[in-house]
Each structure stands twice: as C-alpha cells, then as structure tokens.
Amino acid sequence: MRATTCALIGALTLSLAGVAAAQGIPDMSGMSMASAAKHGQGKGVIKAIDLKAGALTIQHGPIPAVGWPAMTMAFKAKPTQLLTGLKVGEAVSFDTTVRGMAADVTAVRPQ
C-alpha cells in the first residue's frame, strides 16, 4: 500500500510539472524564496503616525520602481527618528525599500 501511494504521488508530481512546462510556467524549484530588495520614491500625504510601532501611514501615488499603484498603506520608519516632526495631513515625498510584503520608509521630505 505504501509503495503504491509513493508511486501515485510521484506520478502526480511529474504530471503537474509537465502541465506547468507545457503552459510556459517557469520551473522555480531551484530558486531562493528570499526576495531581493526594491527601492523607490513616492509622493503622498501622511494619514497616521504611530510612534509606539515606529510606523506611518501614507496615501501615495503610484511607485513604478516597486510596481505599486496608488494606495494608502503603513510603512515602518527606518530609522524611527524619521517620524520626528512629521504631522498628519502633511504632504511628503519619501524613499522606500520593499522586501516581499514588508515596506520601510528610509527618508521623508516635506513638500
């Protein structure tokens, strides 16, 4: 029974790999899941500042360098001292570093 189950799993795996190859889906089995950092610059308006979490929420326009449309999102401030002197409602330009789903603000400039 166990040998049959292993054989079935192996056959299904090979079948799915063949389907993926036939559809032009690249084989990513050898790729690292660590994502490379992307860097971009944006412009927006500060919607919230959370000093305790070291974060700010910015409603920003598109940021093509990281592949983002316009949206409102929270960023971690790196370093947290970037939050000093900022105000909700303030228009800013900013630098961001994105790794996977995590985004940091690395510079903030009032507009």
Task: Report the pLDDT value the prediction gives residue 101, as an integer from 0 to 100.
Answer: 86
Residue whose token pair is 């570093």: 97
Average pLDDT, rounded, for the chain: 82
Number of domains in the chain: 2
CA distance 45 to 34: 31
pLDDT, tens digit (0-9, with 9 covering 90-100), for 38-62: 999 999 999 999 999 999 999 999 9
Q: What is the 3-state secondary structure (H, E, C) of 40-80?
A: EEEEEEEEEEECCCCEEEEEECCEHHHCECCEEEEEEECCH
Q: What residue numbers bound the domain in which 6 lies?
A: 1-31
Task: Indicate if 55 and 92 belong to the same structural domain.
Answer: yes
- Find out whether 91 and 110 touch, Cβ atoms under 8 Å: yes
- Whichever domain contains 85, its CATH number is 2.40.50.320
Task: Indicate if 51 and 103 belong to the same structural domain.
Answer: yes
Task: Indicate if 54 and 102 belong to the same structural domain.
Answer: yes
